[in-house]
Amino acid sequence: MRGLFDPAARSKSGVLLELIRSRLQARKVELIALMEAHLTDDARALLDELLTTPDDQNRYRLTLLKKLPQSARPT
Q: Is residue 43 included in any domain, yes or no?
A: yes
Q: 9-24 pLDDT, tens per residue?
A: 568 888 899 999 999 9
Helix ranges (H only) for 1-75 are 12-38, 41-50, 61-64
- CA separation (Å) from 3 to 10, 11, 15, 18, 22? 9, 12, 10, 12, 15
Q: Is the pLDDT of residue 1 over 60?
A: no
User: Residue 18's closest CA among 26, 56, 61, 32?
Assistant: 26
> What pTM did the predictor assign?
0.53
Give residue 43's domain range.
8-50
Q: How many domains does the chain have?
A: 1
First to last CA, the chain: 52
Read off the pLDDT of residues 29-61 as tens digits, 9 standing for 90 and up: 999 999 999 999 999 999 888 888 777 777 777
Residue 71 included in any domain: no
Has residue 37 been placed in a domain?
A: yes
Asked whether residue 2 is assigned to any structural domain, the reply reads: no
